[in-house]
Amino acid sequence: MDRFVIRHKRQNEKSEFGESSSIASDSSNDKKAKLDKNKPEESAVAVQPDSTLTKIPASFPSWKKNNPWLCLNENYRAICTICTEAYNKNLVLRLDSHELKSKVTWVQTGFFYWKHAADRIKKHQKSSLHLKCTEALKNLKTVNVVQHLSTATLKQMMDHRTALKKIFSTLRILGRQGLAIRGAANDEDSNFMTILRARAEDVLELESWLSRTGHKWLHHDIQNEILEIMANKIMTENIEKIKKSEFYAILLDETPDVSRMEQISIYFRVASPDLVSSEYFMGFYSTTSTKAGTLFDIVKDVLLRFQLPLEKLRGQCYDGASNVSGRLSGLQQRIQEEEPRALFVHCNAHNLNLAVQDSIEKVLEARKFLGVMKEMINFVRDSPKRIARFQDLQAYEGEENGEDFPALAAYCPTRYE
């Protein structure tokens, strides 16, 4: 048989586990002596590190087909890929003595006694080492119980997050455009809910969220909190830009809102290294008094809140009212007492408006023109019929000249745009 080489067993020959075999008993030797010398025992040669002596049995492909884990190492010895992978990943740590011997054979040195290979392969497949390694790899590749149970929860969380993002973006759009969020009497007809229902037609997660019976994050308090979060985020980014500049200036003006409540609007102005100026609006601040002392306290409170040092203030810009521009006790004087380098500049736009207004008052023709124009505007705006007629004239002129005319605005003596 060209696939096998005849060999005789020798004393102290190593077993497949690397152990020395015992000397055969006398009775065993007698039996072996009676064997037909013309039919010597056939055995596959143990594969030595020298691959030139290697003889791979022809049955090996069929063994591998029935046992996919069977493989040959670099010395052409059979190893178990499952046990080898588990051993390399340190998945099986505690082994008994028999399992340790099996690990040496099927992981480290490799199996090479091909005569009883079929039986030994079946025995290894049922061994405790192989079963342990198989279970360890299975547990490693299988998603753990917590992750498996939380898959549905994770999907639900992602759907809820998508719906919340749409709620945030809707509020951002309304706030940016200056549109009312709540309805007059019924919130279901508000701008906020109308836009959400329209967006739900294209976003299934939002549609599912709006149709649920539990909390929906649509209450007035939640809306205000979301708007406050976005406002704080914007102010934080603006403050970082202001702090990156070495110096800054402050702009302030007071005016009543539609509810006749006095509010202070505050801006900060900075210049980039290439001398490009930028202004950042930092909010409205309500006050019941517009005295210089009250305004000074508001400014100091704002600077403290935004952690802007007064020593970095280099400019002040207000209108010409005495409570802010007064030289003795105005706001600009109080700030200069603490930071003399904070120079006061009268608002250029307000200065221009005052100069033009005073100049027109000195010219009779201009004064009469503005007076007649004011009366004409009031005459048209006081009657819906006259407004409709005026709009018809505008449309006719627009068709003739191909232009669009703006609506008739009320006359304002201090308008500068």
Q: Give the pLDDT of residue 37.
A: 39
- The pLDDT, as a whole number, for residue 148 is 59
Residues 30 and 131 in one domain: yes
130 and 30, same domain (yes or no): yes
The verdict on 40 and 136 lying in the same domain is yes
Q: In this structure, is residue 236 part of a structural domain?
A: no
- Range 240-268 average pLDDT: 89
The mean pLDDT of 313-321, rounded to a whole number, is 91
Band of residue 14 on the pLDDT scale cut at 50, 70, 90: very low
pLDDT in the model for residue 412: 73
Backbone φ and ψ for 279, nearest 5 degrees, come out as -120, 140
Q: Distance from CA of residue 344 to its chain's centroid? A: 44
Tell which of 141, 168, 194 closes a domain: 141
Pair (205, 281) in one structural domain: no
Residues 46 and 117 in one domain: yes
Domain extent, residue 326, equals: 245-346
SS3 of residue 25 by DSSP:
coil
In one letter, which amino acid is 292?
A: A
Residue 186 has pLDDT above 80, yes or no: no
Residue 227 lies in a domain: no
Element holding 60 (H helix, E strand): helix 60-66
Residues 184 and 207 in one domain: yes
For residue 379, the number of C-alpha atoms closer than 13 Å in the C-beta half-sphere is 8
295: domain CATH number? Answer: 3.30.420.40
Q: How many domains does the chain have?
A: 4
Contact 325, 253 (CB under 8 A): no
pLDDT at residue 352, as a whole number:
86
Percent of the chain residues past pLDDT 70, beyond the cut: 83
Task: Examine residue 351 and state whether it is found in any structural domain, yes or no.
Answer: no
Q: If you average pLDDT over residues 291-296, what whole number do you get?
A: 92
Q: How far apart are the first and last CA of the chain?
A: 108
Residue 16 has pLDDT above 60, yes or no: no
> Pick from 96, 111, 141: which residue ends a domain?
141
Q: Within a 10 A sphere around the Cβ of 254, how many other Cβ atoms?
A: 19
pLDDT at position 140 is 74
Angle at the Cα of 369 (from 366 to 371), degrees rounded to 5?
Answer: 110
When pLDDT is cut at 50, 70 and 90, the band that residue 53 belongs to is: very low
Q: What's the mean pLDDT when you consider all of the chain? A: 81
Q: Specify the pLDDT at position 414.
A: 64
Mean pLDDT over 104-112 rounds to: 88
Q: Is 288 among the domain residues? A: yes
pLDDT value at 86 more than 60:
yes
Average pLDDT over residues 227-255: 92
Nearest CA-CA partner of 115 in 29, 1, 38, 27: 1
Residues 32 and 130 in one domain: yes
Q: Are 194 and 264 contained in the same domain?
A: no
Residue 29: CB atoms within 10 A of its CB come to 11
Are 43 and 127 found together in one domain? yes
Label residue 209 exposed, middle or buried (CB < 10 Å: 0-12, 13-18, 19+). Answer: buried
Task: Look at residues 107, 141, 175 and tell me which one is the last residue of a structural domain.
Answer: 141
Q: State the residue for tokens 């007649």.
A: 372
Overall average pLDDT of the 116-125 stretch? 88
378: in domain: yes
Section 151-159 average pLDDT: 81
Please report, to the nearest 10 degrees, the dihedral formed by the alpha carbons of residues 192, 196, 198, 204 taken in order: 180
Helix (H) or strand (E) holding 106: none
For residue 358, being part of any structural domain is answered with no
Task: State pLDDT tens for residues 352-369.
Answer: 888 888 888 888 888 888
Domain presence at residue 18: no
Task: Please report whether residue 180 resides in a domain.
Answer: yes
Q: Which amino acid is at 190?
A: S
Whether residue 34 is found in the same domain as residue 132 = yes
Distance from C-alpha of 353 to C-alpha of 370, rounded to nearest angstrom: 14
255 touches 279 (CB < 8 A): no
What distance in Å separates the CA atoms of residue 216 and residue 163, rounded to the nearest whole number?
9
Are both 378 and 308 inside the same structural domain?
no
What CA–CA distance (Å, rounded) separates 281 from 286?
15
The 8-class DSSP code of residue 52 comes to G
